[in-house]
Amino acid sequence: MIDIQNLSKIYKTKSGTVTGVDNVSLTVYEGEIFGIVGYSGAGKSSLLRCINLLERPTLGTIRVDGVDLTSLKSEELRAARLKIGMIFQHFYLISQKTVYENIAFALKAANLPKNQVQKRVEDLLEMVGLSDKKDVYPSQLSGGQKQRVGIARALANDPKVLLCDEATSALDPTTTKSILNLLKKINKELNITIVLITHEMNVVKEICNRMAIMQEGRVIEEGSVYDVFASPKADLTKEFIESVVSFEIPDVILDGCEGPIVKVTFRGQVAGEGVISDMLQTFQVKGNFLHGSIEYIQDLPLGIFIMELKGKQEEIQAALTYVEKRAAQVEVLRDGI
């Protein structure tokens, strides 16, 4: 659906050139929700704006639904953009127009016949749950309601792709969850491909199928959300994940541990099985649980446990080998004292 190859965006400033996006190649599949994560200045917003050519790439190509947008002339590009909706962090609604008029404006700009506008707007308002707000002005809406209007407006021309630029960053946690549920509904019911940029890993964990981590204009890690959470490679990825799934143990607890401390990660259905209890019964090893939880990502369980093991070294090693054979990933965080 979206194929980005060797894309770079270089900005010219008074003090020289700045590379916003540095040789990025990504593929977003049809019908999926793809998350792009990074801190401010990582290049994720620049990359997103290049996808619909709000910013023209310095180098590289962008194909959306098989069409190379970088090769299109002005009129062709305007037509192609109608199939790429976009929602923003700050809504950008027209304050002097009602909710109905804000959505209708997008349809009129696309030259939809007048006799079709009303029905289309009413259908969109029903989809986003704002049928009772059509005659209300933006100043009378909550932040979540404003974003729902923004989503309805982005869907006005029946796009195939929806680009979300920090769509939930200005919202409280409860409202964020409701907007994410709406996006999941839109993705499922309309089969719209969604690209979502954010600095919040909770958002990615909640809604995305696959993801990429950006740093200094480059993609440093990508994959399914489940795989990235289960086996992060880059230090920045680990930092982001720890903001959602924290396993920091106070030094006063660690100082009291004499045996090796291990982190055991269980993937898939095995996370719900009694692997550790089986291990403790099978081998002459005692376990002191320091931390643990089971997270659910795309409805798949991911179990992470940190524990101190006590016993003879050969028994501990045999126990860890046993756990690894049961589809677990074992990492020794600290050898015994």
Per residue in 160-187, pLDDT tens? Answer: 999 999 989 888 999 999 999 999 999 9
Region of poorest pLDDT, from 41-55, 120-134, 160-174, 251-265: 251-265
User: What are the residue ranges of CATH 3.30.70.260 in the chain?
Assistant: 251-334
| 226 closest CA partner among 191, 269, 193 | 269
Q: Give the type of residue at 64.
A: V
How sure is the predictor about 88, in pLDDT bands with cuts at 50, 70 and 90? confident
How sure is the predictor about 293, in pLDDT bands with cuts at 50, 70 and 90? confident
Q: How far is residue 136 CA from its own chain's centroid?
A: 32
Check residues 135 and 108 and name the one with the higher pLDDT: 135
Query: DSSP assignment, residue 290?
Result: E
Above 80 in pLDDT, residue 337? no
Above 80 in pLDDT, residue 53? yes
**Architecture (CATH level 2) of domain 2-242:** 3-Layer(aba) Sandwich (3.40)
CA distance linking residue 24 with residue 5, whole number of Å:
7
- What CATH number was assigned to the domain covering residues 251-334? 3.30.70.260
User: What are the residue ranges of CATH 3.40.50.300 in the chain?
Assistant: 2-242
Percent of the chain beyond pLDDT 70?
99
Q: What is the pLDDT of residue 272?
A: 61
Above 80 in pLDDT, residue 246? no
Do residues 281 and 319 lie in contact, with contact meaning Cβ atoms separated by under 8 Å? Answer: no
Region of poorest pLDDT, from 31-40, 56-65, 129-138, 264-273: 264-273
Above 90 in pLDDT, residue 102? yes
CA distance linking residue 191 with residue 69, whole number of Å:
22
Above 80 in pLDDT, residue 34? yes
CA distance linking residue 73 with residue 81, whole number of Å:
12
Q: What is the pLDDT of residue 111?
A: 81
- When the pLDDT of each residue in the chain is averaged and rounded to a whole number, the result is 91
Above 90 in pLDDT, residue 316? yes
* pTM listed for this prediction: 0.89
